Amino acid sequence: MKIKNVLIGEAKIGSENEYLVAVLGSCVGLAVFYKEKGKFALAHCLLPEKLKNYSEALENQQAKYVSDAFPVLFDLLDVSRAEYNCLEVVVVGGSYFYKNPVGPTKLSVGELNVQEAFKQIKKFNLKLAAQHTGGLDGYKITINCSNGSYETNKIQAAVKAG
């Protein structure tokens, strides 16, 4: 089986005999499963904020921001709005890696990423299959694109936040 690493800001679709893999800290991984059609995609999002130029995000297949990731994933999976109810989402990551929270709410970047992920899931009326988020450790998600299974593992932080 071939491993496709999904790096920061990337969104990728997997094929049979491939694994999609992302290692996440405060970043959020958005895994979308279209099991009926055997299609699976993963985005590795750095920040919650939306790009100013939305069409640029689609054109470059970028998923740097959580607010842009789902349309990019829908495009990769070639799904119409009528098919959104067939999709399942797994949210992974959003750990608290940094000492100083940001913004007026004083939430960490990871917490803001997770909040934006849930906002987008609600916006597109998607089914949340599972979440593995928060805490002080990182996460690794591996999607087996041959059978649609996935696995998450915690990765202990070398230095704890605080």
Domain borders along the chain are 2-155
48-57 pLDDT, tens digit each: 876 555 555 5
Tell me 47's DSSP state: B
Rounded CA-CA distance 92/96 in Å is 13
Q: Is 75 exposed, middle or buried (0-12, 13-18, 19+ CB in 10 A)?
A: middle
Q: Which residues contact 59 (CB under 8 A, 6 or more apart)?
A: none
pLDDT mean over 7-35:
96
Q: Which pLDDT value is given to residue 63?
A: 80
**Model pLDDT, residue 58:** 47
**Phi, then psi, of 76 in degrees rounded to 5:** -60, -40
Read off the pLDDT of residues 119-149 as tens digits, 9 standing for 90 and up: 999 999 999 999 999 988 899 999 999 999 9
Structure confidence at residue 150 (pLDDT): 98
pLDDT in tens, 64-121: 889 999 999 999 999 999 999 999 999 999 998 655 555 555 678 899 999 999 999 9
Q: Does domain 2-155 have CATH number 3.40.718.10?
A: no
* Residue 96: per-residue pLDDT: 85
What does each C-alpha distance from 58 to 53, 86, 126, 149 come to in angstroms?
10, 22, 20, 27
pLDDT band at 162 (very low <50, low <70, confident <90, very high): very low
Separation CA 122–CA 124 (nearest Å): 5
The DSSP secondary-structure symbol of 78 reads: T
| φ, ψ for residue 112, nearest 5 deg | -65, -40
